[in-house]
Chain A
Amino acid sequence: MSIILYPLLVLGGLGLLFGIILSLASKAFAVETDPKVEEVRSVLPGANCGACGYPGCDGFASSVVEGKAPVNGCAVGGKAVAEKVAKIMGVGAGETEKKVAVVLCQGNNSKAVKKYKYIGINDCKAANIVSGGDKACQYGCLGLGSCKAVCKFGAIEIVDGIAVIDPEKCTSCGQCIKACPKGIIQLVPYSQKVAVKCRSLEFGKPVKEKCSTGCIGCQMCVRVCPAEPKAMQFENNVPHIDYEKCINCGLCAEKCPTGAIWSILEKKKVEDK
Chain B
Amino acid sequence: MSLFTILISTIFVNNYVFARFLGICPFLGVSKKTETAFGMGVAVTFVITLASVITWMIQKAILDKLGLEYLQTIVFILVIATLVQFVEMVMKKTSPTLYSALGVYLPLITTNCVVLGVAILNIQEGYNLIQTIVNSIGASVGFGLALVLMAGVREQLELSDIPKPLEGFPIALISAGLMSIAFLGFNGLV
Contacts and interface: CB of A to CB of B under 8 A. Distances in A.
A7 B63 CA distance: 9
B63 A29 contact: no
A7 B93 CA distance: 36
A14 B78 contact: yes
A29 B78 contact: no
A84 B89 CA distance: 33
Nearest to B93: A29
A65 B86 CA distance: 29
Contacts of B71: 7, 10-11
A52 B119 CA distance: 49
Contact of A18 (B66, B74, B82, B90): B82
A31 interface: yes
Interface in A1-53: 6-7, 10-11, 14-15, 18, 21-22, 25-26, 29-31
Contacts of B134: none
The prevalent SS among residues of A at the interface is helix
Given A18-B78, A31-B92, A10 B68 contact: yes
A14 B89 contact: no
Contacts of A7: 68, 71
B51 to A, nearest CB: 12
A29 B89 contact: yes
B75 to A, nearest CB: 6
A1 to B, nearest CB: 13
Interface residues of B, number: 19
Interface residues of A, number: 14
Contact of A29 (B62, B68, B79, B92): B92
Nearest to B90: A29
A26 B89 contact: yes
Contacts of A6: 66-68
Given A7-B71, A10-B62, A10-B71, A21 B78 contact: no
Nearest to B82: A18
A11 B66 CA distance: 12
B55 to A, nearest CB: 11
A94 to B, nearest CB: 32
B130 to A, nearest CB: 24
Contacts of B67: 6
B101 interface: no
A21 B84 CA distance: 12
Nearest to A13: B62
A14 B75 contact: yes
A6 B89 CA distance: 32
A117 B67 CA distance: 79
Contacts of B90: 25, 29
A72 to B, nearest CB: 29
A31 B68 contact: no
B95 to A, nearest CB: 11
B85 interface: yes
B58 interface: yes
A18 B79 CA distance: 8
A129 B122 CA distance: 65
A26 B67 CA distance: 34
A29 B96 CA distance: 12
A25 B96 CA distance: 17
Contacts of A11: 71, 74-75, 78
30 contacts: A6-B66, A6-B68, A7-B71, A10-B62, A10-B63, A10-B66, A10-B68, A10-B71, A11-B74, A11-B78, A14-B58, A14-B75, A14-B78, A15-B78, A18-B79, A18-B82, A22-B82, A22-B85, A22-B86, A22-B89, A25-B85, A25-B89, A25-B90, A26-B89, A29-B90, A29-B92, A29-B93, A31-B92, A31-B93, A31-B96
Interface of B: 58, 62-63, 66-68, 71, 74-75, 78-79, 82, 85-86, 89-90, 92-93, 96
Given A10-B66, A14-B75, A21-B86, 9 more contacts: A6-B67, A7-B68, A10-B75, A11-B71, A22-B82, A26-B89, A29-B92, A31-B93, A31-B96
